[in-house]
Amino acid sequence: MARERQAPVAVDIHRAGQQLFHAALPGSTPDNDAWITRKRRVVERYGSASYLVGARFRAKGTTFEESSRLDPDEYAAHGGSFPITVENAGVIGSVTVSGLPQLEDHRFVVEALESFLKL
């Protein structure tokens, strides 16, 4: 989907700490890889989409950076990382995109997963 749209993104799929897939498409940069790592860590810690985690903090009138007590160089509650959940197993991994504005990164992952699952 990213190639078809010529999206300047990096895409990452992880399972249980192992990178299963990574693609850095034209227009993406090494910074996108760093964002992927930081967003993925949020999913691994909270078990929810990185965008949702950030939204929950904002709904409380604060920010993730101010209130999570986590190092912002290691964690980023910005859109683009989504948990892979298996029934009776919980969160087993994540799919992460970086390169677009955070809401677009989030929507991109959701759309790709919905397409893959034919939802």
Torsion of CA 63, 80, 103, 49, to 10 degrees: -60
Count CA within 13 A, CB hemisphere, residue 30.
0
- The pLDDT, as a whole number, for residue 113 is 93
Mean pLDDT of all residues in 69-97 = 97
**The token pair that represents 47 in the structure block:** 């078990």
List helix spans (H) across the chain: 30-46, 50-59, 64-67, 102-117
Residue 109 falls inside a structural domain: yes
Residue 4 falls inside a structural domain: no
**The token pair that represents 109 in the structure block:** 């992952």
Give pTM, 2 decimals. Answer: 0.94
Residue 35 falls inside a structural domain: yes
Q: How far is CA 96 from the centre of its chain?
A: 4
CATH number of the CATH domain containing 30: 3.30.450.150
Q: CA–CA separation, 27 vs 16, rounded Å? A: 29
The tally of domains found in the chain comes to 1
Residue 104 falls inside a structural domain: yes
Look up the domain containing 99 and give its range: 10-117
- The pLDDT, as a whole number, for residue 67 is 97
Residue 3 falls inside a structural domain: no
Residue 25 falls inside a structural domain: yes
Contact 3, 36 (CB under 8 A): no
- The pLDDT, as a whole number, for residue 104 is 97
Mean pLDDT of all residues in 82-102 = 96
On the question of pLDDT at 119 being above 90, the answer is: no
Residue 46 falls inside a structural domain: yes
